[in-house]
Amino acid sequence: MKRTVFFISDGTGITAETLGHSLLAQFDTVDFDQITIPYVKDEEKVRDAVSRINKAAMSDDMPPLVFSTVINDDIRVMLSQSKAFMLDIFSSFLKPLEGALGAESSYSVGKSHSIVDDQSYKVRIDSVHYALDNDDGARTRHYDMADVILIGVSRSGKTPTCLYLALQFGIKAANYPLTEDDLDDLNLPKALREHRSKLFGLSIEPERLAAIRTERKPNSRYASINQCESEVRGAEAIFNRFGIPYVNSTHASIEEISTKVIEAAGIKRRLA
């Protein structure tokens, strides 16, 4: 089965996409053609959006799904006249929340993704800079400033996880790649020993690791299944020997890995 899905917003559309993707992921048997239409703020934009929705309805011979986070009442009314199954996210939750809180919503566009204040912005930028400066073991002298230090074999997902932790939560995350020398000795590198309480490991299935490395260096020893199996086995032996918590990143998204790191390591988020 195939269905067309629209994410429509008078802002970036990130909120509509995030909630929509979470819900649609529950339907494995349906193939979704997903279309995002951001910044629907005026009559011309909404008419264009309605036209695209109606064309999809005719083409598919069934109503598209529309996840909407539009605030403006007039635009929402126009959207509701399209040939779609509407999921109006804000109207479903804001009105009940107003009743529960005894307060009116500000009905501000894009508020959840705005820079709330200068301090939050500074925390985010400082954390991103820290992640970049302390990536891949390039520098180790500032590990005392880290909230967490991710360790694992090359291409196990350390760098993107560090950047996500920094950008999303303001967490200062460094990462260090375990080399063949470390894995042969089954010992912690000297730079990590005094920071054991901050260490968190990422593991990965050897087959997946080989596929990732093959994209970078095809037909190399680095990407061979034997090398990947040996490195993963050695990394997990180090994790177990030194009591370092770790997760398997093979089938997890960056968001899922980051959440597991925060929960398991007991890290405090600087940004909500």
Quickly list DSSP for the chain: -EEEEEEE-SS-SHHHHHHHHHHHTT-TT-EEEEEEE----SHHHHHHHHHHHHHHHHHHTSPPEEEE----HHHHHHHHTSSSEEEEHHHHHHHHHHHHHTS-----TTGGGS---HHHHHHHHHHHHHHHHTGGGS--TTGGG-SEEEEESTTSSHHHHHHHHHHHH---EEEEEPPHHHHHHT---HHHHTTGGGEEEEE--HHHHHHHHHHHSTTSGGG-HHHHHHHHHHHHHHHHHTT--EEE-TT--HHHHHHHHHHHHTPPPS--
The answer to whether 102 is annotated as binding is: no
Q: For residues 196 and 119, which has the higher predicted lDDT (pLDDT)?
A: 196
The answer to whether 159 is annotated as binding is: yes
pLDDT at 96 over 90: no
pLDDT averaged over every residue in the chain: 92
Average pLDDT over residues 2-27: 92
Average pLDDT over residues 73-100: 89
Sort strands 199-203 and 65-68 into parallel, antiparallel or unpaired.
Answer: unpaired
Residue 147 tokens read as 């909230």
The answer to whether 152 is annotated as binding is: yes
Give tens-digit pLDDT for 200-230.
999 999 999 999 999 999 999 999 999 999 9
* Least confident segment among 23-27, 100-104, 116-120: 116-120
Cα 103–77–86 angle (5° rounding)? 90
The answer to whether 156 is annotated as binding is: yes
pLDDT at 18 over 70: yes
Domains recognised in the chain with CATH numbers: 2-101 (3.40.50), 118-265 (3.40.50)
The answer to whether 190 is annotated as binding is: no
Q: How far apart are CA 3 and CA 84, in angstroms?
A: 11
- Portion of the chain with pLDDT greater than 70, in percent: 95
Give tens-digit pLDDT for 146-197.
999 999 999 999 999 999 999 989 999 999 999 998 999 899 999 999 999 9
How confident is the model at residue 272, as a pLDDT?
64
Residue 109 tokens read as 């566009």
The answer to whether 91 is annotated as binding is: no
Alpha carbons within 13 angstroms on the beta-carbon side of residue 186 total: 11
Helix axes 158-169, 118-133, angle to 10 degrees: 170
pLDDT at 233 over 90: yes
* Contact yes or no for 150/173 (Cβ under 8 A): yes
The answer to whether 154 is annotated as binding is: yes
- Portion of the chain with pLDDT greater than 90, in percent: 75
Residue 129 tokens read as 């800079």
Give tens-digit pLDDT for 30-53.
999 999 999 999 999 999 999 999
Residue 82: band (very low, low, confident or very high) from pLDDT cuts 50, 70, 90: very high
How confident is the model at residue 92, as a pLDDT?
83
Q: How far apart are CA 180 and CA 167, in angstroms?
A: 31
Helix axes 43-60, 73-80, angle to 10 degrees: 20
How confident is the model at residue 138, as a pLDDT?
84
Q: For residues 122 and 244, which has the higher predicted lDDT (pLDDT)?
A: 244
How confident is the model at residue 117, as a pLDDT?
59
pLDDT at 232 over 60: yes
Alpha carbons within 13 angstroms on the beta-carbon side of residue 258 total: 20
Give Cα separations from 129 to 72, 122, 171, 174 (angstroms): 38, 10, 11, 10
pLDDT at 109 over 60: no
How confident is the model at residue 132, as a pLDDT?
95
How confident is the model at residue 107, as a pLDDT?
62
pLDDT at 87 over 90: yes
The answer to whether 161 is annotated as binding is: no
